[in-house]
Amino acid sequence: MDLLQQAAAAWKELTAYTYRITYGKSGVLHEIVLKFDLAEFYHLAGFQHLKDITLPVRFSHAKAIDVVLSGKLAEADIAKSESYESIRERLTAITRLKAALDTSFRVYRFNPDSLPFFTRITAKHLISAECGGVVFLFTDSAEDGTTFSKSIFLKRPDHDFSQNQKALTILKIERENGELICLYSR
């Protein structure tokens, strides 16, 4: 199984889980309800950057995981792109994400203007976890209150996205997949 298939399988596994992260701010409890959608994989894996190559098959965002897991699209097909190294970084981060969320992580209110470098990323929260390298997951909120993933990266020597960000005080982390499991409680 190549890295692209491993990332697709890891993301598909994550779609079965919901993470509830409760944090306090100014004496008020807030909750991040983190769900994972199959269609998010297309963007998180970086398929939008594959403009310099022709893929062997056409597919919608929602079908990206099925195309990869069926073997119709392989890592060798996307490795021809000039953007492959950044895509490879994203795929590696996706394979580590569940382990990162199941261990210790920090949540920040994300403000790109506070970073000492330029980024076009806009997000409400940044989740930073140490799991075989630091994984950064950027999230935003939908109108129904659920949180969705916007972008994912591994830490680079010159890009620590948690730098100058406001850390939130996590009070409880729960994972739900049919049964509710408390991963952390303060």
H or E, element range at 112: none
Q: Are strands 125-130 and 105-109 parallel, antiparallel or unpaired?
A: antiparallel
Looking at residue 176, what is its pLDDT? 94
Q: Walk across the sheet containing 169-177 and list its strands.
A: 166-167, 105-109, 125-130, 134-141, 146-154, 28-35, 18-25, 169-177, 179-185
For the record, the structure tokens of 125 come out as 């929260």
Average pLDDT estimate for 90-114: 91
Query: Between 145 and 91, whose confidence is greater?
Result: 91
Query: Using the 8-state DSSP alphabet, how is residue 5 labeled?
Result: H
Q: Which of 4-13, 53-62, 144-153 has the highest mean pLDDT?
A: 4-13
Helix axes 3-14, 84-102, angle to 10 degrees: 40
Query: Between 10 and 132, whose confidence is greater?
Result: 10
Q: Are strands 28-35 and 146-154 parallel, antiparallel or unpaired?
A: parallel
pTM over 0.85? The answer is yes
